[in-house]
Structure 1
Amino acid sequence: MKLTITELYEKMHQNMGDSGWWPAESKAEIIVGAIMIQNTNWRNADKAVAGFRERTNFDPNQIRQLTTAELYDLVRPAGFYKNKSRAVAAVFTWLSQYNDDYQQASQSLGPTLRKELLKLHGIGDETADVLLTYIFEQPTFISDKYARVLFTQLGIPNLTNYQSLARQVKLPANFTSAAAQDFHGLIDEFGKVYFHPLTKFQESFLTDDRLIL
């Protein structure tokens, strides 16, 4: 069956239910988690996130007060601790000019918000889109590895990097931020079940479908 983006999301939601993504108790925790997950797995990222929870309770002011050495110790379980520590410091320092008010930042920057996020140390395309979707509630498609694998299985060729898919996908106007958040979560949860190994995709409820972009 040929599916549009909306139909793909609806079919995944019908078969899987709500994804519950991003699993966090605050937006500050999502920010930390989005940086920690870069180039590692959830197990390692969760160790670092747990350390931040214990040390700062994800209070932005407490995060900003951490010394470089303290940041290194907290981030170390997630790997790339120097780069990720700089990224955490950069994002929360940047947010301070908006009084940690995400809506204020979004309204002040308008359509330039993504560009401003990409200027921050350690924030690339994928993390910027995660922040747009989950922090600033701007419906954005996150073209991560699981999305590229899924869309390849659904007939979209040559998905070699983040931009190769991102430039092809624009969420329909009727996608709410909640739907965009859920869609990303469903794709990643689907990938955890059906992409290890990839041959398991043939057992999935999407095996006979093809996507229309």
Structure 2
Amino acid sequence: MQEMTQYELFHRLLEEMGETGWWPAESKVEIVVGAIMIQNTTAANAERAVMNIGQVTQFESQAILDLPREELEVLVRPAGFYKNKSKAVHSVLHWFNEHDNDLRGIVRKYESNLRQELLKLHGVGDETADVLLLYIFDQPVFVADKYAQKLYTKLGIPGMDNYKAMRRLVSLDPQFTIWEAQEFHGLIDEFGKLYLRGKGRFEESFLAGYRLDASKLE
């Protein structure tokens, strides 16, 4: 087995797969909507709901907030859990409005407590909070989603049982830039779609034969 650091894993993924451009969206509001729609559903279902909302509102924050809840629920329906997700979209965008949509100001106000503030919002759990930190607030954090859990398990790291467990064990090496952290998440998910779905084809992948250095994950 050839050992590598987390940062070396990032570069191996990047060399083999190229840039992903994650999160795929044209505005911060679209990212917020997408991060909520993807919860507990497939990417295809989430994309349909995101497209519905975009067609009606052009991802203008106030336009989404002005939609009657019942109308928003119809748009969200393809993503499932439409009542909860509609409420979450309104909750998050309203919170941004309360802070004048000043992202830098929000970071300055809450500093290291920002994640805890996000978790107070309806419909924002651990994964969504980290996605918002990474792609909305440009904080280099690790998103410990299902594909990340599966990949790190395959690379010899035990204890990757769920989001909270992995997040306790894994954080990004300080040398990751914001762009690299954003790409790393995208690369892991793109790798997962190719090699980790269902029973997976990891042994056929370019990462077979590698293991992560567990001493350098925190």
TM-score by length of 1: 0.97
Distance 2:200 2:146 in 1: 17
Distance 2:200 2:79 in 1: 29
Q: How does 1:73-84 map to 2 (within 5 A)?
A: 73-84=74-85
The DSSP-based 3-state class of the residue aligned with 1:2 is strand
- Which residue number corresponds to residue 116 of structure 1? 117
The DSSP-based 3-state class of the residue aligned with 1:210 is strand
Distance 2:25 2:42 in 1: 16
Shift of 1:183: 0.1
- Which residue number corresponds to residue 20 of structure 2? 19
The DSSP-based 3-state class of the residue aligned with 1:83 is helix
Kindly provide the CA deviation profile for residues 79-111 of structure 1, in whole angstroms up to 9, marking residues without a partner as x: 000110111010001001121122221122111
Kindly provide the CA deviation profile for residues 114-161 of structure 1, in whole angstroms up to 9, marking residues without a partner as x: 000000001000000000000000000000000000001001113211
Q: How does 1:127-206 map to 2 (within 5 A)?
A: 127-206=128-207
Shift of 1:196: 2.9
Distance 1:196 1:104 in 2: 40
8 Å CA contact 1:64–1:92 kept in 2: the answer is: yes
Shift of 1:197: 4.2
Shift of 1:170: 1.4
TM-score by length of 2: 0.95
Show structure 2 runs of 5+ residues with no match.
none
8 Å CA contact 1:60–1:100 kept in 2: the answer is: no
- Which residue number corresponds to residue 90 of structure 1? 91
Shift of 1:176: 1.2
Shift of 1:199: 4.2
Q: What is the root-mean-square deviation in Å for CA atoms of aligned residues? A: 1.0
The DSSP-based 3-state class of the residue aligned with 2:52 is helix
Distance 2:211 2:32 in 1: 34
Percent identity between matched residues is 53
Q: How does 1:31-42 map to 2 (within 5 A)?
A: 31-42=32-43
Shift of 1:198: 3.4
Distance 1:32 1:185 in 2: 17
| Number of residue equivalences | 213
- Which residue number corresponds to residue 126 of structure 2? 125
Show structure 1 runs of 4+ deviating over 2 A.
196-199
Q: Which amino acid aligns with 2:154?
A: Q
Q: Which amino acid aligns with 2:60?
A: D
Distance 1:16 1:42 in 2: 20
Are 1:100 and 2:112 counterparts? Answer: no
